[in-house]
Amino acid sequence: MKVQEKNRLILFGALLMMTGAAVAIVSTVVFGGALAASLEESIAEMLADPAYAAELAAAGLAADDALATMVGIIYALLGLGVAVNAVKIVVGALSLRRTDRASAFFLVWGAVFLVLGVLGVWFSGVATIFGMCDLAAGVFGPALLLAGGVQN
pLDDT of 75-89, one tens digit each?
898 899 899 999 999
User: Which of 105-123 are b and which e, b meaning 16 or more Cβ less than 10 Å from the residue's Cβ?
Assistant: bbeebbeebbebbbebbee
Position 22 pLDDT exceeds 90: yes
Q: Report pTM.
A: 0.78
> For the segment 106-143, what is each residue's pLDDT rounded down to a tens digit?
889 999 999 988 888 888 777 888 888 888 888 999 99
The Cα 30–Cα 149 span in angstroms is 35
| Average pLDDT of the segment spanning 90-101 | 87
Quick check: 21 and 133 in contact, CB under 8 A? yes
Question: How many angstroms separate the first and last alpha carbons of the chain?
Answer: 18
Higher local confidence (pLDDT), 86 or 31: 86
Cα–Cα distance, 146 to 91 (Å, whole number):
13
Q: Residue 21 is which amino acid?
A: A
pLDDT at residue 21, rounded to an integer: 93
Q: What is the pLDDT of residue 3?
A: 46
Is 102 a residue whose pLDDT tops 90?
no
**Residue 17 pLDDT exceeds 90:** yes
Q: What are phi and psi of 133, to 5 degrees?
A: -65, -40
pLDDT of residue 4: 64
pLDDT tens-digit readout, 38-63: 877 887 787 778 888 788 788 887 77
- The three-state DSSP-derived secondary structure of the chain is CCCCCCCHHHHHHHHHHHHHHHHHHHHHHHHHHHHHHHHHHHHHHHHHCHHHHHHHHHCCCCHHHHHHHHHHHHHHHHHHHHHHHHHHHHHHHHHHHCCCCCCHHHHHHHHHHHHHHHHHHHHHCCCCHHHHHHHHHHHHHHHHHHHHHHHC
